[in-house]
DNA sequence: AAGAGATTTATTTTT
DNA sequence: TAAATCTCTT
């Protein structure tokens, strides 16, 4: 016992030790980046179990991603030297599902949601929103379903029901949202489906309806821990508060400076007001950074210091100074990607580093394209976190739609998908679907029943829908196939069910074996089969629901740890939160990208989005342990158009002592938008319009090229200069490109970059 | 109802 | 630029 105690507490600093051993009552830990908060969380849980005799099943720990939960559980089990069975650890959303699954009777009775409910993902939600817009007699083309959805989601995150929303409308637009919201919710329920926000809101409704069930959980969870508390929203706050009300042993960890989910209704006040909610709370600060070099820490500190909405504190470290932060301007996004690939190659060669030591971070997923292309040709292994998830690929979603419909016959969104995309639905158009839907509505049954009623041997509740011609044939075919699949669904393993699905729906044959692209998509479908096989170990009746739930709740980062070894990571700044890498590149640090244009537009009436952008940059900087590169391009192609860009204002705050410019031109702080801002503030110039946006020709270095130099051209790629002819102040270059052969180019016009 | 061809839209971030 | 959506023809 004593041995273990020293193990659990050794190597912790005073503040960390205090956080681990302060057992009872509300505790707020404000933890800067790299200050060991994961260590504190894991050691604290192990300490509770080992030293305080707390049962693992009396502890609830909420993390931001499933990956974090998995890793923490592993670390705890390693500390304990045994399994931590019973410990409830996961994201808010997975915990929400768990609550709903554990109370099927109450959930059905009080909330009207049957146990076979599905979790609708983003695309499904858009579809439901569209249908809702149509149903209230409006036009989805004018209303932007996505915008409706974000308003609805915001309302749900604030626990505002459709009825409450309707009562507090102020503008015409609000009224429209209210109507769509109501219909959206009705459509979801009719499909026996829930969305992400419901996973948090429904447990609260359940507790309202059945206080005894709340009391049970309150009693059970003597200790509750919440990570990334700065990113919790209202629903999450209410849920945690309710659960912690009985024992009040609530331990929250967060960093207001890393709050980057304001757009998801994350409310920084949850952490700032913690001590108001719990006047007896103990507050512990973890400030010393163990992760990064001194220069990286100082850079981060100076950048975040510019924010006004924050608690003043200083980030510090006792680590070595380390290398300078490298800032590099590139001609365009291709050069930027090329530069990054080149640097990585160089560092791998000379610096004893491997691919997985590197991460490239960017603000928007669109930026990953060019980077990915550069890595693809470079043959450096890489992986992309974010972008299109495996489960979001069209062909995968198609097959999943069938499985979902088999699990939940009310799932009209999946039914629609099947009709649109499967050979099975051929000959069956929108008008015919209207007929069947109307029939189903009339009889109060799911739309699928309309099809089943046409299958041979069916005993429908009413005369089947009136169809004719190709629509009738198609509907009969679909009904017959589904009737049979439904029978088999309970008996077959998932893999065999998969086989039956792709065979009988004609999906398998729909791939053209002569087209490479289609074969790739077919390969994805088969990968789904391999995925399904893993679930055949479960009880047959659990396999499908467990699988579908897992599919709905995996985040991009969750899927990350599979075969990440040796690969460079390409990741959005948002997804990078909580991760660390020896070498980090932050790409596209330009006005309009980081900060994102919308934050710039909003700045004059609302400074908060801009501050969030700055925090995002801060999150990126603090991911780096040893080396940090910041790159920006002088111009980039957006929507297929060239646009020149201005270095981000955030660059102006990096201290001279920490930064060095790479390349021929020094990094010119005065051209970054930060300095322009100053001028704007004193009223010398209007914003942006007169900003000295440099034209490419004007700022391109007038380097004199020489034969044998290696260069990079945005279109032609890598090449070697074979001949140089001087023409006045300019040069005409003969270049042999690796992939495009010999070209003659004018030095001042060709957007060339020297590569080492 | 289906496919070809024209046109228009999109890029903020995600559980 | 590429993907999604619309329009027109059969």
Q: Is the CB of A430 under 7 A from strand C?
A: no
Q: Place A422 in a pLDDT band, splitting at 50, 70 and 90.
A: confident
Among candidates A453, A470, A451, A471, which has minimal Cα distance to A462?
A453
> Which nucleotide does the CA of A640 lie closest to, via C1'?
C1
Residue A227 is among the residues annotated as catalytic for this protein: yes
Known active-site residue A110: no
Chain centroid to CA A235: 19
**pLDDT at residue A427, rounded to an integer:** 84
SS3 A739: coil
A38 is a catalytic site residue:
yes
Average pLDDT over residues A162-185: 91
Which of A370, A721, A391 minimizes the C-alpha distance to A555?
A: A391
Q: From the CA of A81, how many Å to the C1' of B8?
A: 60
Rounded Cα–Cα distance for residues A246 and A218 (Å): 6
Kindly tell me the sign of the dihedral angle through the C-alpha atoms of A30, A36, A42, A46: negative
Tens digits of per-residue pLDDT, A98-118? 999 999 999 999 999 999 999
Give A730's pLDDT tier (boundaries 50, 70, 90): low
Residue A272: both structure tokens together:
């700032």
Q: Distance of CA A529 to CAs A422, A492, A493, Å?
A: 18, 14, 11
Q: How many CB atoms lie within 10 A of CB A436?
A: 27
Gap from A150 CA to B12 C1', in Å? 13
Which nucleotide lies nearest residue A428, CA to C1'? B1
The Å distance, CA of A448 to C1' of B6, is: 35
pLDDT recorded at residue A714: 63
pLDDT band at A705 (very low <50, low <70, confident <90, very high): confident
Torsions phi, psi of A27, nearest 5? Answer: -135, 135
Rounded Cα–Cα distance for residues A338 and A343 (Å): 9
Q: Helices A540-553 and A394-407: crossing angle, nearest 10°?
A: 140
% of chain A at pLDDT higher than 70: 90
Q: How many residues does chain A have?
A: 756
The answer to whether some atom of strand B lies closer than 7 Å to the beta carbon of A430 is: yes
pLDDT tens digit string along A299-332? Answer: 999 999 999 888 888 899 999 999 999 999 998 8
State chain A's mean pLDDT as an integer. Answer: 86
pLDDT value of position A512: 73
**CB atoms closer than 10 angstroms to residue A611:** 23
User: Can you read off the two tokens belonging to residue A472?
Assistant: 């009738």
Distance CA A422, CA A394 (A): 12
The mean-pLDDT minimum among A11-15, A486-490, A539-543 falls in A539-543
CB contact set of A741 (below 8 Å; sequence gap of 6+): none
Concatenated DSSP letters for A382-409? EEEESSS-GGGSHHHHHHHHHHHHHH-T
Report, as an integer, the average pLDDT of A499-521: 80
pLDDT-derived band at A209 (thresholds 50, 70, 90) equals very high
Model confidence at A456, in pLDDT bands (50, 70, 90)?
confident
Maximum average pLDDT range among A24-28, A366-370, A657-661, A721-725: A24-28
Pick the most confident of A108-117, A129-138, A514-523. A108-117
Evaluate if the CB of A640 falls below 7 Å from strand C. Answer: yes
Report if CB A172 to strand C is under 7 Å: no
Measured CA to C1', the nucleotide nearest A140 is C5
Q: Which of A38, A473, A638, A709 is catalytic?
A: A38
In tens, the pLDDT along A67-104 reads 899 999 999 999 999 999 999 999 999 999 999 999 99
Nucleotides of strand C within 7 Å of the protein's CB atoms = 1-2, 5-6
Tokens of A94: 């997975």
Closest to A100 (Cα-Cα) out of A207, A243, A185, A227: A207
A421 CA – B3 C1', rounded, Å? 14
pLDDT at site A157: 93
Contact (Cβ atoms closer than 8 angstroms) between residue A179 and residue A399: no
For residue A25, what pLDDT band results from cuts at 50, 70 and 90?
very high
pLDDT value of position A728: 58
**Taking the C1' atom of B14, which residue's CA lies nearest?**
A555
Q: Which bases along strand B come within 7 Å of a protein CB atom?
A: 1-2, 9-15
Residue whose CA lies closest to nucleotide C3 C1' = A639
Neighbour-count burial of A87, counting CB atoms closer than 10 A to its CB (0-12 exposed, 13-18 middle, 19+ buried): buried
Q: For strand B, which residues in window 606-625 of chain A come within 7 Å by CB?
A: 609
Q: Considering chain A, what percentage of its residues have pLDDT values greater than 90?
A: 54
Residue A701 pLDDT greater than 60, yes or no: no
pTM value is 0.85
- Indicate yes or no: strand C within 7 A of the C-beta of A604: no
SS3 state of residue A618: helix
Contact A206, A107 (CB under 8 A): yes
Beta bridge partners of A304: none
For residue A228, indicate whether it is catalytic.
yes
Which tokens is A702 given? 């007038």
Distance CA A314, CA A693 (A): 35
End-to-end C-alpha distance for chain A, whole angstroms? 58
Q: How far is CA A565 from CA A99, A560, A682, in A?
A: 36, 10, 52
The rounded distance, in Å, linking the Cα atoms of A91 and A96 is: 8
Number of separate helices (H) and strands (E) present in chain A: 32, 24
A196 Cβ within 7 A of any nucleic strand B atom = yes
Higher confidence at residue A753 or residue A178? A178
Provide the pLDDT for residue A4.
56
Q: Determine the pLDDT at residue A719.
A: 79
Task: Quickly give A732 CA vs B6 C1' distance in Å.
Answer: 42
A386 touches strand B (CB under 7 A): yes
Half-sphere exposure in the Cβ direction for A355 (13 Å, CA): 16
A366 CB-near residues (< 8 Å, 6+ apart): none
- Spanning CA of A729 to C1' of C3, the rounded length in angstroms is 44
- Positions 558-617 in A, CB within 7 angstroms of strand B: 558, 572, 574-575, 596-599, 609
Cβ of A141 less than 7 A from strand C: yes
Q: What is the pLDDT of residues A260-287, one digit of tens each?
A: 999 999 998 899 899 999 999 999 999 9
Residue A698 has pLDDT above 60, yes or no: no
Mean pLDDT for the stretch of residues A597-616: 91
CB A371 within 8 Å of CB A380: no
CA of A637 to C1' of B10 (A): 13
Measured CA to CA in angstroms, residue A68 lies from A73, A106, A577, A605 at distances of 9, 31, 11, 37
Report residue A428 as tokens.
């069956």
Is pLDDT at A363 greater than 80 in this prediction? yes
Confidence of residue A425 (pLDDT cuts 50, 70, 90): confident
pLDDT of residue A557: 75
A706 is catalytic: no
Which helix or strand (DSSP H or E) is residue A194 part of? strand A193-194
Q: Which of A135-139, A515-519, A695-699 has the lowest mean pLDDT?
A: A695-699
Q: Which of A1-15, A124-138, A346-360, A635-649 is predicted least confidently?
A: A1-15
Tokens encoding A495: 């893999």
Contact predicate A709/A754, CB 8 Å = yes
Q: Encoding tokens for residue A12?
A: 């912790």
pLDDT, greater one: A656 or A298: A298
pLDDT digit string (tens) for A659-695? 887 765 555 555 555 444 433 332 222 232 222 222 2
Q: How much is the pLDDT for A697? A: 29
Q: How confident is the model at residue A424 (pLDDT cuts 50, 70, 90)?
A: confident
Over residues A501-522, mean pLDDT: 80
Picking from A78, A76, A74, the residue whose alpha carbon sits closest to that of residue A59 is A76
Whole-number distance in Å between A112 CA and C6 C1': 39
Confidence tier at A538 by pLDDT (50, 70, 90): confident
Give the SS3 label for residue A121: coil
pLDDT-derived band at A192 (thresholds 50, 70, 90) equals very high
Which pLDDT belongs to residue A96? 96
Please give the residue that has the higher pLDDT: either A610 or A491. A610
Q: Give the burial class of A289: count Cβ atoms within 10 A of its Cβ; 0-12 exposed, 13-18 middle, 19 or more buried.
A: buried
The Cα A582–Cα A580 span in angstroms is 7
Cα→Cα distances A187→A78, A144, A413, A484, Å: 46, 18, 10, 27
pLDDT tens for each residue of A368-382: 989 988 998 888 899
Q: Which residues are A385's β-sheet partners?
A: A571
Q: Can you tell me which residue has the tokens 């998908």?
A: A417
**Alpha-carbon distance A609 to A394, whole Å?**
33
pLDDT of residue A727: 64
């Amino acid at each position: 016992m004593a041995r273990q105690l020293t193990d659990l507490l050794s190597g912790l600093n005073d503040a960390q030790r205090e956080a681990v051993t302060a057992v009872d009552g509300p505790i707020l830990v404000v933890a800067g980046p790299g200050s060991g908060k994961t260590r504190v969380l894991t050691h604290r849980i192990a300490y509770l179990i080992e030293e305080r005799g707390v049962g693992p099943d009396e502890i609830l720990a909420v993390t931001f991603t499933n990956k974090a939960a998995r890793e923490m559980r592993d670390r705890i089990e390693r500390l304990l030297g045994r399994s931590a069975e019973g410990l409830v650890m996961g994201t808010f959303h997975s915990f929400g599902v768990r609550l709903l699954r554990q109370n099927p009777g109450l959930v059905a009775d009080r909330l009207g949601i049957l146990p076979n409910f599905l979790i609708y993902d983003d695309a499904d939600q858009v579809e439901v929103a569209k249908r809702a817009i149509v149903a209230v007699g409006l036009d989805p083309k004018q209303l932007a379903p996505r915008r409706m959805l974000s308003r609805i989601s915001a309302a749900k995150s604030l626990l505002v029901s459709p009825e409450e929303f309707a009562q507090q409308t102020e503008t015409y637009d609000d009224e429209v949202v209210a109507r769509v919201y109501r219909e959206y919710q009705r459509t979801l329920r009719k499909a026996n489906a829930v969305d992400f926000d419901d996973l948090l809101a429904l447990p609260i409704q359940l507790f309202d309806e059945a206080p005894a069930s709340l009391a049970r959980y309150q009693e059970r969870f003597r200790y509750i821990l919440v990570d990334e508390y700065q990113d919790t929203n209202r629903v999450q706050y209410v849920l945690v508060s309710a659960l912690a009300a009985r024992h009040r042993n609530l331990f929250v960890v967060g960093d207001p400076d890393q709050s980057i989910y304001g757009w998801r209704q994350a409310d920084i006040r949850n952490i700032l007001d913690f001590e108001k909610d719990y006047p007896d709370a103990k507050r512990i600060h973890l400030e010393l950074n163990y992760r990064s070099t001194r220069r990286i820490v100082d850079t981060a500190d100076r950048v975040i210091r510019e924010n006004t909405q924050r608690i003043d504190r200083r980030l510090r470290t006792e680590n070595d100074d380390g290398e300078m932060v490298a800032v590099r301007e590139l001609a365009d996004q291709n050069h930027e990607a090329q530069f990054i690939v080149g640097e990585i190659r160089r560092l791998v060669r000379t610096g004893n580093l491997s691919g997985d030591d590197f991460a490239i971070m960017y603000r928007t997923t669109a930026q990953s394209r060019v980077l990915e292309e550069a890595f693809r040709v470079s043959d450096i292994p890489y992986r992309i976190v974010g972008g299109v998830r495996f489960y979001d690929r069209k062909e995968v979603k198609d097959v999943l739609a069938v499985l979902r419909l088999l699990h939940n016959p009310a799932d009209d969104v999946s039914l629609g998908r099947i009709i649109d995309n499967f050979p099975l639905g051929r000959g069956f158009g929108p008008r015919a679907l209207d007929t069947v839907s109307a029939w189903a509505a009339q009889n109060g049954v799911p739309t699928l029943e309309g099809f089943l009623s046409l299958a041979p041997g069916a005993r429908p509740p009413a005369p089947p829908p009136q169809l004719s011609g190709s629509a009738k044939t198609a509907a009969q075919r679909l009904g017959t196939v589904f009737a049979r699949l439904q029978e088999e669904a309970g008996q077959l393993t998932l893999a065999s069910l998969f086989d039956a699905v792709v065979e009988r729906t004609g999906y398998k044959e729909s791939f053209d074996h002569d087209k490479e692209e289609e074969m790739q998509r077919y390969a994805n479908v088969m990968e789904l089969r391999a995925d399904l096989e893993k679930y055949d170990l479960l009880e047959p009746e659990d396999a499908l629901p467990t699988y579908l739930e897992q599919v709905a709740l995996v985040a991009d980062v969750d899927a990350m740890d599979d075969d990440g070894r040796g690969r460079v990571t390409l990741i959005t700044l948002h997804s990078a939160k909580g991760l660390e890498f020896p070498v980090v590149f932050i790409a596209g640090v330009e006005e309009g990208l980081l900060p994102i244009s919308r934050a710039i537009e909003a700045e004059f009436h609302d400074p908060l989005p801009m501050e969030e952008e700055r925090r995002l940059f801060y999150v990126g900087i603090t991911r780096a342990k040893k080396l940090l590169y910041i790159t920006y391009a002088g111009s980039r192609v957006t929507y297929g158009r060239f646009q020149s860009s201005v270095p981000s204002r955030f660059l102006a705050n990096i201290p001279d002592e920490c930064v060095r410019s790479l390349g021929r031109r020094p990094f010119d702080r005065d051209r970054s938008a930060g300095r322009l801002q100053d001028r704007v503030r004193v009223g010398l110039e209007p914003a942006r319009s007169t900003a000295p946006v440099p034209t490419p020709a004007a700022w391109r270095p007038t380097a004199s090229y020489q034969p044998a130099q290696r260069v990079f051209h945005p279109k032609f790629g890598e090449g070697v200069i074979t001949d140089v002819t001087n023409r006045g102040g300019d040069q005409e270059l003969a270049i042999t490109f690796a992939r495009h052969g010999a070209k003659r180019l004018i030095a001042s016009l060709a957007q060339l970059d020297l590569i080492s």
